[in-house]
Structure 1
Amino acid sequence: MKQILVKKNIFQSNDDIANENRKILSKKGIFTINMLGSPGAGKTSVLEQIIKSLKNEISMAVIEGDLYTAKDAERIESHGINVIQVNTGGACHLDASMVKEAMDNIGVEGLDFLIIENVGNLVCPASYDLSEDIKITVLSITEGNDKPLKYPSMFQKSEVLIVNKVDLLEHTNFSMDELYKDIKSLNENMKIFEVSCSTGEGIEELSKFLKDSIEEKRRKL
């Protein structure tokens, strides 16, 4: 596993670099997701389940964002997946220049699927284009169902919501009805998956959605 602390290019805007990255990814037919969510939402656990479901069928790599450590990247690497750790040195999000350097280091030739796991934060990551095809936000039952209205930008800009840890629902005051109502008021086209990494609930449906999206992009080459 490679680990890099990238230096930002101050002479180009994030969107300029993101557009350059997108051209490369589109030319190679690589479906790319930007996975977002709070610390503790279970992004890495969901990612591990996706990897288990798809790694024998899909060529994939992971760019793992974190403030300082490589703990999540080490978890991903244990599944036999090519992964590169990007430490932001305290910045609360990844940006396109960081993704560019990670792409250069990890090598994207022959990939079908690139997963960017962003730094755990529900605010600033939503504002940065990372050349992704879709943004996916992970929200855990233990966080409460009030998060979409408290942090609307994240949910307005994401195409997919993964509601994680649904096996804990009966032990909380989380209201799934209120969550759906709030999500639809912010983003009526958002696709929602209810999953549990402990029981496996919803993982097959989520993996099928991703596989279909990957194959659709490959067909456009």
Structure 2
Amino acid sequence: MCRVVDLRQAVLAKNDEAAHTLRAELAARGTVIVNLLSSPGSGKTELLERELLLARERGVPVAALTADLATENDAVRLARSGVPVKQVLTDGLCHLEAGMLGRHLDGWLPGDTRLLFVENVGNLVCPASYDLGESLRVVLASVTEGEDKPLKYPTAFGLAHLVVVTKTDIAEAVEFDQAAFLANVQQVNPGVEVVFTSARRGAGAGALLDRALAVAGGTAPHAPVMAQRQRAEAHGHDHDHGPDHDHGPDHDHGPDHDHGHDHGDGHDHGHRHDHDHDHPHTGSHTHRAGHGHVPSEAAGFPPGAPSAVVPTR
């Protein structure tokens, strides 16, 4: 069992090194990666298509890379926006990795690209553990997926810089409990901004693009508590490791933890969290929290990445 864990740590360490290199290379040319994670069917392709169209209208040089196990359907849809689009077929692999992404960008990504949107494989388990060299990690969930989604997938939501809720035009029909969802998000990722969107009705249009441009302009993203804790542990800081403490990138090593991996989206890693945050919420389309100045390292990025004060809007 220990050998399996050691191997996984080695794989993630190699990926982190590749992600650090890719982030630095792209930063040198003025390009920022936006990593989009969600379950299959969340509506991220339709939302991304709208954001790419808007970026083109505004004259923002963007590109998109989309990953799937099979078919080029998503790339065909995104190409309708008129921006550079590339499809990556993973041949069964449930996630993208930084080295893989770098190889696909080599010789393809236009030199003037300001934002590269990466639509990761539809899966909230495996992709959550892999840094792609992104400067903004966005996790999406549709109103049809249930208010407890953040609790079921605490690593994906816990490491997000931004959470986007989709398909809000049918929220009433499916009896989506917005307050419960927001409370659950705050439990795993205190202070993270939650944006509510509807690609069909145009609600929240441009929110994703605006947040990405802010980061590209030097504004530091939200610093997830989980990322800060992982960074501190990696540097050997002392902590009080209670029985519910999350020791690894995506595992709660409690006594009953099963280290086997089901790479489907239905896998529940059994994480538990002790964050007790009671936040009142309104019915507005965007849940925001003010963020102070944080070093890039504490935000989950390697030393040397830009940091700044994130204003409360």
Verify same fold: TM over 0.5. Answer: yes
Match among 76, 97, 100 for residue 99 of structure 2: 97
Amino acid at match of 2:96: L
CA contact (8 A) 1:73 1:84 kept: yes
Aligned with 1:121 (options 120, 123, 130):
123
Q: Is the 8 A contact 2:37 2:140 kept in 1?
A: yes
- RMSD after superposition: 1.6
Deviation of 1:21 (Å): 0.7
| Alignment-derived partner of residue 133 in structure 1 | 135
Structure-1 residue corresponding to 2:48: 47
Q: Which residue of 1 aligns with 2:144?
A: 142
Counterpart residue identity of residue 129, structure 1: D
Question: What is the rounded CA distance, in whole Å, between the counterparts of 2:209 and 2:32 in structure 1?
Answer: 13
Structure 2 CA distance, aligned partners of 1:54 and 1:107? Answer: 16
- Give aligned pairs, total: 208
| Residues 136, 215 of structure 2: 8 Å contact kept | no
Taking the aligned partners of 2:42 and 2:56, their CA distance within structure 1 comes to 23
1:36-185 residue pairs with structure 2 within 5 A? 36-56=37-57, 57-185=59-187
Q: Using the TM superposition, give the Cα deviation of residue 36 of structure 1 relative to its aligned residue in structure 2, in angstroms.
A: 0.4
Task: Name the CA distance, whole Å, in 1 between partners of 2:131 and 2:66.
Answer: 16
**Would you tell me which structure has more helix in proportion to its own residues?**
1
Which piece of structure 1 moves more, 159-168 or 96-105?
96-105
- Structure 1: which 5+ runs fail to align? 1-9
Identity %: 35
1:25-36 equivalence runs, <5 A: 25-36=26-37
* RCO higher in structure (CA 8 A, sep ≥6): 1
Q: Give the match's secondary structure for 1:51.
A: helix
The answer to whether the 8 A contact 1:54-1:211 is kept is no
Taking the aligned partners of 2:74 and 2:21, their CA distance within structure 1 comes to 28
Between the aligned partners of 1:184 and 1:54, the Cα distance in structure 2 is: 30
2-structure distance, mates of 1:29, 1:105: 16
Give the number of the structure whose residues are more often strand, by fraction: 1
Larger Rg: 2
Taking structure 2 as the reference length, the TM-score comes to 0.64
Q: Could you list the runs of 5+ residues in structure 2 that have no partner in the other structure?
A: 1-10, 220-305, 307-313
| C-alpha contact 1:194 1:202 (8 A) present in aligned 2 | yes
CA distance in 1, matches of 2:107, 2:78: 17
